[in-house]
A and B are shown apart, each in its own frame.
Chain A
């Protein structure tokens, strides 16, 4: 099974899964106003605005 579990093609293991975003992708201009790596801040905003919280779990590899 090649899929789904913590794939690490970046360092040469012959497994694949989601294509990796470069670290610089964090700085890409997005169409949506993402909060970066601050769960508490995002949760507080969601509560105050009475909105659901969308989370993208990713890694730069």
Chain B
């Protein structure tokens, strides 16, 4: 999003319609705002009424430039306080407000009401579906999520939103109880729908969306016990990301794909494929902790522990906030694999100290408890 959408001149005309704030949720200065806004996924976009700081609209997940433009158009209208022009729009405005207040069940009911009243060709239809598809799983309503995906897909065929809708249907089908009648058929149905949205020439969805769909397909193949199929999908995932990276116009745009490419290569058990791209990113973006932190992961998986430790050494001085905990945990793994139990424990203790020092909004009791549990456990035996 940051490297692609917000750099697009097509959005320049919106500049004077809002005041624009970018909020790095890992930055301690933003911890209280992150907590108040209940940021649960990244990216999340908000439009606030500045007079009372109420959330007028909220949207999770990436968007294309066109989707962002439509979001801004709608948000601007909603923030202006102009009344709704139809029952569907009134329900949608209410749903957005409730969603902004994180009254999830009430928001879901209002989105449902909006969709039930939506006339054919209603422009916000796709956005309302996406919002509701985010809410259902968070309310443990996988069956409703699946039903909504089935209902909406025919109306969204060929649109960028169809990628997220099909994938959500697949994720929700996979999330159904394993013994539920119809689960296998639902997974197969939604897997086919997801594959259809990815088939050439594509539907112009954001790369985030497409990439996430490959991961869902891999999980579906694994759930079916089809390891070879999972590997084929992982190869397709890696190829998609490599093509996206090759088409990038700047180092920042190319590095956007590093994280998912590393995940794809790890899925393929080919971590060595990540090394050249990450070394390039480290050279291009010397202030960024991510490339050396990811290199530490790749080298570790390759059992190249000296290189992994060296990469960790380079990442550590550059990382602060919640992500420092992950870097330190990986560092502990590296030390443990080298047979240095004392250093492994020290890195874990540093991770715990870091976790306990974070302010509300960044602090995670679950992480703290997990680190304490790891520290209480006997030292792991070295891997080599």
Contacts and interface: CB of A to CB of B under 8 A. Distances in A.
A36 to B, nearest CB: 5
Interface in B14-62: 14-27, 29-30, 33-34, 37, 39-51, 53, 56, 60-62
B167 interface: yes
Interface in A10-24: 10-24
Given A19-B208, A21-B1, A31-B8, A56 B259 contact: no
Most A CB atoms within 10 A — which of B18, B27, B76, B168?
B18
A51 B174 contact: no
A53 B47 contact: yes
A23 B75 CA distance: 28
Dominant SS among interface residues on chain A: loop
Contact of A54 (B21, B33, B250, B262): B21
A18 to B, nearest CB: 5
Among A31, A43, A46, residue most surrounded by chain B Cβ atoms (within 10 Å) = A31
B67 interface: no
A15 B326 CA distance: 14
B76 A52 contact: yes
Contacts of A37: 22-24, 27, 29-30
B29 to A, nearest CB: 6
Contact of A24 (B76, B138, B287): B287
A61 B75 CA distance: 27
B23 to A, nearest CB: 5
Contacts of B250: 28
Nearest to B62: A18
B97 interface: no
Contacts, number: 273
A61 B79 CA distance: 31
Nearest to A35: B21
Contact of B22 (A5, A31, A34): A34
A49 B19 CA distance: 8
B2 interface: yes
Contacts of A57: 23, 25, 34, 37, 39, 42-46
A7 to B, nearest CB: 7
A42 to B, nearest CB: 4
B301 interface: yes
Given A5-B41, A46-B19, A21 B50 contact: no
Given A9-B263, A31-B6, A58 B175 contact: no
Contacts of A12: 262-263, 266, 294, 297-298, 301, 330
Contact of B49 (A7, A22, A52): A52
A4 B43 contact: no
A52 B60 CA distance: 18
Interface string A22-46: 1111101111111111110011011
A31 B290 contact: no
A16 B21 contact: no
A57 B14 CA distance: 19
B23 A4 contact: no
B7 A28 contact: yes
B322 to A, nearest CB: 8
Contacts of A46: 18-19, 48, 50
A33 B21 CA distance: 9
Contacts of A59: 24-26, 42, 323
5 contacts: A19-B257, A24-B251, A37-B29, A51-B18, A52-B49
Nearest 10 CB-CB pairings of A with B: A46-B50, A12-B297, A52-B79, A42-B21, A46-B19, A9-B259, A21-B2, A54-B18, A23-B288, A55-B46
Interface of B: 1-3, 6-12, 14-27, 29-30, 33-34, 37, 39-51, 53, 56, 60-62, 72, 75-76, 79, 134, 137-138, 167-168, 171-172, 174-175, 207-208, 211-212, 215-216, 219, 250-252, 255-260, 262-263, 266-267, 281, 285, 287-290, 293-294, 297-298, 301, 323, 326-327, 330
